[in-house]
Amino acid sequence: MKLGLGLYRHMLTDENFAFAKQCGCTHLVIHLADYYSNQIVTATDDKTNYGQAKALEPIWQADSMIALQKKAQSYGLTIYAIENFSPADWYDVLLDGPKREAQMEHLKEIIRNAGKAGIRSFGYNFSLAGVWGHQKERSGRGGAYGTCFDASRIKLDAPIPNGEIWNMTYRSNEQGVLAPITSAELWARLRRFLEEILPVAEESGVELALHPDDPPLEGLRGMPRLVYQPELYQNVIDISSSNANKLEFCMGSIQEMTHGNIYDAISQYAGQNRISYIHFRNVKGKVPKYQEVFVDDGDIDMPKALALLEQYGFDGVIIPDHTPEITCGAPWHAGMAYALGYMRAVLQMLDKQLS
């Protein structure tokens, strides 16, 4: 298992590459879609979203990705994955709209470019409503500022305005709202997407890795969702036996689901060698109400989970994803440093038990 850090696009600086290396990381997972353009915004509702998504940005070109990979290597790091397409680059793939074919061609190009830059994995979140409806509260240990979800405090069925997808605006000043679709239709769109893109991914040496729904609800904003229970991940795997068809295994999201448990989910999916990388995140509670907590302080026994992954031979990257912020002059960094220190210790101790 490899220790990594997730960096948003505005955080791809020399300082943060040094930060990751100092915290014991060997790998990075980077976001190139330009949500959170200068600060991390985790709480959104039907009044606010992650902002404007721009199509066809030059950052997705091969030379940009290769330059980023070289920069990472100069710090002794490897970019293991890119996480998420930009909503403006694939809204009609999600919506089955008129620009679908052109957008699919561009996505294939992005996957080829990732392959050229030696990036092994590409995370994606096949969702219309996206990550939505979280609040921020000082509910963590010691009053730490973290993300939580409480369905009773939001309007779960607030419709998605036209021109908005995955919680970002790709076209402004639209009228009306998105018409609901069935779950079968959404699964059909995922299947079509995977059947077209997986051959390109295989050729390029890149894995496609699906994030489960966050929050994991059967429906949100009038739209169906795909993986809101652990067993639904199996449907994704069953679409294609390609080695490129993988999971972006978010432990927090799976723990928030009402069926099964995280350990069985690890056994099931690591046992099939379908996990590309892991969001190592702990929570208390399940939908409809849960809160994100420090890695050592939640419902998941994190060392037990990592021991299971090791047992199944998982050799991909684990990243903290998000974590509560810690009160100081650099709350995000201190939160990540705490999580990474924890992860590093568990990995060292597991290594020793096995050797």
Nearer to its own copies, 77 or 186 (CB): 77
Q: Which of residues 7-66 bind its own copies (CB under 8 A)?
A: 15-16, 18-24
Under 8 Å between Cβ of 236 and 265? no
Question: Quick one: which of 10, 99, 116, 333 contacts its own copies (CB under 8 A)?
Answer: 333
263 lies in the binding site for its own copies (CB under 8 A): no
In this structure, what are the phi and psi dihedrals at residue 232, rounded to the nearest 5 degrees? -75, -20
208 lies in the binding site for its own copies (CB under 8 A): no
Under 8 Å between Cβ of 168 and 183? no
Vertex 275: Cα angle to 271 and 279 (nearest 5)? 125
295 lies in the binding site for its own copies (CB under 8 A): yes
Question: Quick one: which of 40, 74, 141, 235 contacts its own copies (CB under 8 A)?
Answer: 141
Tokens representing residue 230 in the block = 């652990």
Find all residues with CB under 8 Å of 175, minimum gap 6, and list them. 162
Under 8 Å between Cβ of 230 and 260? yes
Nearer to its own copies, 128 or 295 (CB): 295
Nearer to its own copies, 90 or 294 (CB): 294
- Nearest distance from C-beta of residue 150 to its own copies, angstroms: 21
In this structure, what are the phi and psi dihedrals at residue 174, rounded to the nearest 5 degrees? -85, 155
Alpha carbon distance 59, 37 (integer Å): 14
Tokens representing residue 286 in the block = 């399940």
326 lies in the binding site for its own copies (CB under 8 A): yes
Alpha carbon distance 218, 162 (integer Å): 22
Question: Quick one: which of 203, 296, 313, 318 contacts its own copies (CB under 8 A)?
Answer: 296
Nearer to its own copies, 178 or 339 (CB): 339
- Nearest distance from C-beta of residue 90 to its own copies, angstroms: 33
Tell me how many residues contact its own copies (CB under 8 A).
44
Q: DSSP letter at 188?
A: H
Alpha carbon distance 66, 250 (integer Å): 27
Nearer to its own copies, 102 or 349 (CB): 349
Alpha carbon distance 38, 9 (integer Å): 9
Alpha carbon distance 169, 88 (integer Å): 8
Please tell me whether residue 119 adopts helix, strand or coil conformation.
coil
Question: Quick one: which of 32, 72, 168, 339 contacts its own copies (CB under 8 A)?
Answer: 339
Q: Which of residues 300-319 bind its own copies (CB under 8 A)?
A: 303-304
Alpha carbon distance 251, 116 (integer Å): 30
Nearer to its own copies, 4 or 115 (CB): 4
Q: Which of residues 160-189 bind its own copies (CB under 8 A)?
A: none
Q: Which of residues 62-91 bind its own copies (CB under 8 A)?
A: 75-76
Q: Which pairing describes strands 289-293 and 282-286: parallel, antiparallel, or unpaired?
A: antiparallel
Q: How many CB atoms lie within 10 A of CB 37?
A: 12
* Part in contact with its own copies (CB under 8 A); list of ranges 138-146, 187-195, 247-255, 257-265: 138-146
Alpha carbon distance 160, 224 (integer Å): 12
CA 109 to chain centre: 21
341 lies in the binding site for its own copies (CB under 8 A): yes
Nearer to its own copies, 170 or 342 (CB): 342
Question: Quick one: which of 130, 133, 140, 224 contacts its own copies (CB under 8 A)?
Answer: 140
- Nearest distance from C-beta of residue 215 to its own copies, angstroms: 24
Question: Quick one: which of 90, 170, 269, 294 contacts its own copies (CB under 8 A)?
Answer: 294
- Nearest distance from C-beta of residue 280 to its own copies, angstroms: 12
Alpha carbon distance 147, 276 (integer Å): 25
- Nearest distance from C-beta of residue 17 to its own copies, angstroms: 8
Contact footprint for its own copies (CB under 8 A): 15-16, 18-24, 75-76, 140-144, 294-297, 303-304, 324, 326-330, 333-335, 337-346, 348-349, 352
